[in-house]
Amino acid sequence: MYRYDEFDHDFVKARVAQFRDQVERRLSGELTEDQFKPLRLMNGVYLQLHAYMLRIAIPYGTLSPRQMRMLAHIARTYDKGYGHFTTRQNIQFNWPALSDIPQILEDLASVEMHAIQTSGNCIRNVTADHFAGAAADEVADPRPYAEILRQWSSVHPEFSYLPRKFKIAVTGAERDRAAVQVHDIGLHLKKNEKGELGFSVYVGGGLGRTPMVGKKIREFLPEEDLLSYTTAILRVYNLHGRRDNKYKARIKILVHETGTEELKAQVEKEFEALRNGELQLSDADIAAIQAYFAPPALPARPEGDAALAKAAARDAGFADWLRRNLHTHRNADYAALTISLKGIGEIPGDASADQMDAVAELAERYGNDEIRVTHEQNLVLPHVARADLKAVFDRLVEIGLATANAGLVTDIIACPGLDFCALANARSIPVAQQISTRFGDQKRQEEIGDLKIKISGCINACGHHHVGHIGILGVEKKGAELYQITLGGSGDENTSIGEIIGRGFGPDEIVDAVETLVETYIDHRQGREETFLDAYRRLGPAPFKEALYGREAKAA
């Protein structure tokens, strides 16, 4: 993985010293809250309901065991013994004292981490496929490009005061696991007929109060032009983005109001002026970064499958887990495995300090020193020999992280919601916990099959509800929580925005409503191979509406 050079170290150190000074000046009263707030946000510090919150970047979701141990240390020393992994491949600590944050940042800097650009109107943490560098179906590892983008965008003087936040995601496979079409810029790394690497470029995707699917404005952008073209997009956005209205300030609104063709023409014009200039990436530039992401040496371990078959026959729980939580590795002796942070009835994305330490140790012993954080709020060990899976599983059982539910109905994304978030209208996490408990039976969830439920506590959509197969949005109505359901959303290579199905449900009704939807799907599906999403796309909303509201509709 990427290692800081001297410049990076000095830069992050200087930034910590600067923030330490700013915090001291705030506490002494030299800075007012109005002066300090933008400074703290630039360093990932929010104020939530109960306390400050610190959001730490995990670039493209890649963590080393040493870094994971530092997160555990921070959880123990300065927070309340746990951390919360988020849909943006970040981690959030919910209880730090402002006075401790400079020291936390210093500790982070010692393992090459920081919280810069995790908030504010700048280019945010660049996200990527969590199976990058491991997946059998990938054309190339997208992370070197994500790292190039990260370096280019870090305190970029021209793009530090954009109209609004700006998010970039990169995938290197046809199967999009990075939700690139709901980002401000989505990049799909691919090869052309000549075998050269480049990107399909999507622009103007996003969720929030105006969800939009990104528009493809380039079928193939040569890799050398990555920064020139991205700069061109940012320039057009920076110039024309709606600074007059923060709800209309995202690039998706600009694309929508300008029209894709016109916007594309503006970008291409800007690009023509920039290309072949100093932003052009040479082969040597790219190779230098790629070297940091060299695949680990994976010795042949052909004994794996026989051992697995034997172990699975003896241990049904292990067999379940093998069925659900493995992803095909490009090396047949290895697997990428998902560590579910969605224990039945538990809080999506939370991990205790002890669990973090245990995962770090597993990555060292069996995982070639690599850990990933997924945008679905799980962890991944990308390179584990199949022969070692049983040992890893047994340890995961001991630490309570062996839930065999990747991609199932209990693998729910939920934002912090009203339990933590100052902007929330309703709670999200308890809804996730109740749904998880209702569907917790392993047989039942597997019978239901792939189904993504995503929950947000307000229209900002941090829980990605618009792209949930079943999306749940919390609103406040007459002082009480109410949950609106959307159906048919999806955040993959066939991205779609879910449609609102009808009136909302109270906190005591929402789980039953979800169960009704699931039962309706089971009744109507053409077989187990037809997933909930496929069935919805075939059937449309009618049978689901009927099941949810039929009686009322008839009574009315």
Partner 1 sequence: MKLLTANRLIDGEVVWLAADGSWVETIEGAEIAHDKDAETRLSAAGLLALANNEVVDVNLIDVEIVDGEIRPIRLRERIRALGPTTHINLGKQARKQTAAFG
Residue 39 sits in the site that holds partner 1 (CB under 8 A): no
Q: Which amino acid is at 282?
A: S
d(CA 220, CA 226): 11
Residue 480 sits in the site that holds partner 1 (CB under 8 A): yes
Task: Report the DSSP beta bridge partners of residue 190.
Answer: 198
Residues 398-427, mask of contacts with partner 1 (x by CB under 8 A): --------------------xxx-x-x--x
In the bound state with ligand SF4, the residue whose beta carbon lies nearer, of 390 and 465, is: 465
The binder of ligand HEM chosen from 22, 62, 64, 87 (CB under 6 A)? 87
d(CA 284, CA 118): 30
Are 235 and 485 within 8 A, CB to CB?
no
d(CA 132, CA 372): 9
Kind of pairing, strands 197-203 and 215-222?
antiparallel
Task: Residue 207: name its binding partner from partner 1, ligand HEM, ligand SF4, none (Cβ under 5 to 8 Å by kind).
Answer: ligand HEM
Compute φ and ψ for 164, nearest 5 degrees: -160, 175
Kind of pairing, strands 470-477 and 480-487?
antiparallel
At closest approach, how far in Å is the CB of 107 from partner 1? 18
d(CA 70, CA 110): 9
Residues numbered 341-400 forming contacts with partner 1, rule: CB under 8 A: 347
Output DSSP code: residue 78: T
The binder of partner 1 chosen from 10, 24, 35, 50 (CB under 8 A)? 50
| Closest residue by Cα to residue 331 from 391, 388, 406, 386 | 386
Task: Residue 139: name its binding partner from partner 1, ligand HEM, ligand SF4, none (Cβ under 5 to 8 Å by kind).
Answer: none
Residue 86 sits in the site that holds ligand HEM (CB under 6 A): yes
Compute φ and ψ for 205, nearest 5 degrees: -85, 160
Residue 429 sits in the site that holds partner 1 (CB under 8 A): yes
Task: Residue 52: name its binding partner from ligand SF4, partner 1, ligand HEM, none (Cβ under 5 to 8 Å by kind).
Answer: partner 1
Binding site for ligand SF4 (CB under 6 A): 415-417, 421, 423-424, 456-458, 460-463
Question: What distances in angstroms separate CA 431 from CA 426, 434, 509, one per listed residue?
Answer: 10, 5, 10
In the bound state with ligand SF4, the residue whose beta carbon lies nearer, of 173 and 207, is: 207
Residue 92 sits in the site that holds ligand HEM (CB under 6 A): yes
In the bound state with ligand HEM, the residue whose beta carbon lies nearer, of 213 and 408, is: 213
| Closest residue by Cα to residue 436 from 360, 476, 380, 377 | 377
Give the strands of the sheet with 453-456, arranged side by side: 413-414, 453-456, 470-477, 480-487, 499-500
Task: Residue 433: name its binding partner from ligand SF4, partner 1, ligand HEM, none (Cβ under 5 to 8 Å by kind).
Answer: partner 1
Output DSSP code: residue 246: G
d(CA 414, CA 457): 8
Residue 545 sits in the site that holds partner 1 (CB under 8 A): no
3-state secondary structure of 121: coil
d(CA 146, CA 541): 38
In the bound state with ligand HEM, the residue whose beta carbon lies nearer, of 59 and 198, is: 59
Task: Residue 456: name its binding partner from ligand SF4, ligand HEM, partner 1, none (Cβ under 5 to 8 Å by kind).
Answer: ligand SF4
Task: Residue 547: name its binding partner from partner 1, ligand HEM, ligand SF4, none (Cβ under 5 to 8 Å by kind).
Answer: none
Are 217 and 263 within 8 A, CB to CB?
yes
Task: Residue 51: name its binding partner from ligand HEM, partner 1, ligand SF4, none (Cβ under 5 to 8 Å by kind).
Answer: partner 1
CA angle 503, 86, 190 (to 5 degrees): 100
d(CA 211, CA 509): 26
At closest approach, how far in Å is the CB of 209 from partner 1? 20
| Burial class of residue 144, CB neighbours in 10 A (0-12, 13-18, 19+) | buried
Determine the interface stretch with ligand HEM among 125-133, 380-388, 454-462, 470-478 (rule: CB under 6 A): 454-462
At closest approach, how far in Å is the CB of 424 from ligand SF4? 3
Residue 547 sits in the site that holds partner 1 (CB under 8 A): no
At closest approach, how far in Å is the CB of 417 from ligand SF4? 5
| Burial class of residue 424, CB neighbours in 10 A (0-12, 13-18, 19+) | buried
Residues numbered 234-263 forming contacts with ligand HEM, rule: CB under 6 A: 250
Q: Which amino acid is at 390?
A: K
| Closest residue by Cα to residue 44 from 120, 129, 103 | 120
Residues numbered 213-252 forming contacts with partner 1, rule: CB under 8 A: none
Residue 526 sits in the site that holds partner 1 (CB under 8 A): no
The binder of partner 1 chosen from 52, 166, 321, 505 (CB under 8 A)? 52
Question: What distances in angstroms separate CA 65 from CA 111, 156, 286, 357, 367, one per listed residue?
Answer: 10, 30, 26, 8, 10
The binder of ligand HEM chosen from 460, 507, 524, 545 (CB under 6 A)? 460
In the bound state with ligand HEM, the residue whose beta carbon lies nearer, of 364 and 493, is: 493
Task: Residue 458: name its binding partner from ligand HEM, partner 1, ligand SF4, none (Cβ under 5 to 8 Å by kind).
Answer: ligand SF4
Task: Residue 275: name its binding partner from partner 1, ligand HEM, ligand SF4, none (Cβ under 5 to 8 Å by kind).
Answer: none
Residues numbered 80-99 forming contacts with partner 1, rule: CB under 8 A: 80, 95-99
Residue 351 sits in the site that holds ligand HEM (CB under 6 A): no
Compute φ and ψ for 498, nearest 5 degrees: -65, 155
Q: Which amino acid is at 134?
A: A
The binder of ligand HEM chosen from 40, 88, 218, 324 (CB under 6 A)? 88
State the residues that interact with partner 1 by CB under 8 A.
26-27, 29, 32-33, 47-52, 80, 95-99, 347, 418-420, 422, 424, 427, 429-430, 433, 479-481
State the residues that interact with ligand HEM by CB under 6 A.
46, 48, 53, 86-88, 92, 164-165, 182, 206-208, 250, 415-416, 420-421, 423, 460-462, 464
